[in-house]
Amino acid sequence: MKGNRRTGAVLLLCVLLVAAAGCKKGEKAQETPTIGGDVTQYMNDAVITVDGISVSYREAMLYLQSTKQEYESAYGGEIWQYMLNEDGTTLGEWVKNQTLEQIIYIKIVCEQAKKLGIELDSEEKKMAAERTEAYMAKAEYTTLALYGIARKDVERVYMDNALAQKIYDSVTLNVDTDISNEEAAQKHLQSLMLKNYHEDQLGNRSALTVLELIETLDRFDSLYTSAQTTKDFYSLAYANTENQEYLDIWVGEGDLPEELSEAYDLKTGEVMQIRAADGYYVFYCVSEYDEDATIAKKEELIALRQEEAFRQLYETWRAEAKIEMNEVLWKAIGFDMDAEG
């Protein structure tokens, strides 16, 4: 199906966060800080150290607060205790772990940038400074004051993220981008579908009666006849389909489910009936070769190659990195990412 263009490093980071294991633990346990009350006593303490680079409590909270704002803007502020699975993991716990991996990723990659002699140029530094000013202008003063977050902390985060993107671009520059039209070719299809079952609000299915099934099949044949003569298949499909999943799609060879795969053989302007396990489909081929979709698919495949190449490299860097956690301080940060534990 037609894919969206991706930002390589961001997408790769999501993959790495999901796949990554926990951090390596340091040999010595940290003293237990007192969480709550006057947080200034530990805001400069290191939550994590990556290859000798310390990440303070306030820098970690900057990452966490940014993530918190993104989630709450989308889903509201009552989401953090939502249980993700049967073992009791909450969304707050999961987000904390993913944010920790994000911090580790950024620090490891930036350290590699130093080793490779990769730095931000003046224009990139200027852009990071502008983003810092924009953030500071919108940020709540009480939040910044609570965690002792200063302009320099925000700028460091933007500079680090920009550098991480730059090293990603640099090390994936030579990845093979030769992808043939055949490999990326995208066909534009449209379809309508009639269900061969009833479905209640809970998603439970029940079979049609014999009479209902006969009526559905008669309607299916009638729609197929109309599809063969209409000059606007999309409108016909939109008005009659009972499942819009394949209403208007761009697919490559092998992208369709096996029972619908015959539709990929259609030529431009052709129509086909397919009886599948879940219902009855009429497919129409808008175009055997969609140039714009094919170009987008090439970009997607190139991005996937780059992500895989960088993923392998990053896994090597991470395995070699020395990561020390202040486990107690990190765990003491509430899973709702407020100051109280």
Closest alpha carbon to 227 in 272, 261, 195 = 272
Tokens matching residue 272? 């086909």
Pairing label, strands 197-199, 205-207: antiparallel
pLDDT tens for the chain, 341 residues long, are 444 433 444 434 443 443 333 333 333 444 444 455 555 677 888 999 999 999 998 899 889 888 888 888 888 888 888 888 778 888 888 889 999 999 999 999 999 999 989 999 999 999 999 999 999 988 888 878 877 888 999 999 999 999 999 999 998 988 888 888 889 999 999 999 999 999 998 889 999 999 999 999 999 999 999 999 999 999 999 999 999 999 999 999 999 999 999 999 999 999 999 999 999 999 999 999 999 999 999 999 999 999 999 999 999 999 999 999 998 888 877 655 554 44
Tell me how far apart the alpha carbons of residues 198 and 204 are, in angstroms, rounded to a whole number: 8
Inter-CA distances, 165 with 2, 34, 137, Å: 25, 37, 24
Q: Which pLDDT value is given to residue 330?
A: 87
Environment class of residue 17 by beta-carbon count within 10 Å: exposed (0-12), middle (13-18) or buried (19+)? middle
Angle, helices 8-19 vs 291-320, to 10°: value is 50
pLDDT value of position 7: 40
Q: What pLDDT sits at residue 334?
A: 65
pLDDT confidence of residue 237: 98
- Closest listed residue to residue 169, CA positions, set 53, 50, 295, 10: 10
Nearest to 41 by CA among 325, 329, 326, 327: 329
Question: Residue 49: what pLDDT?
Answer: 95
Q: Would you state the pLDDT for residue 239?
A: 97
pLDDT value for 19: 38
Position 90 scores a pLDDT of 86
CA distance 266 to 118: 50
CA distance 12 to 94: 18
Q: Is 56 helix (H, G, I), strand (E, B) or coil?
A: strand
Residue 81 CA to residue 53 CA, distance in Å, equals 32
**Cβ-contact 49, 55 below 8 angstroms:** yes
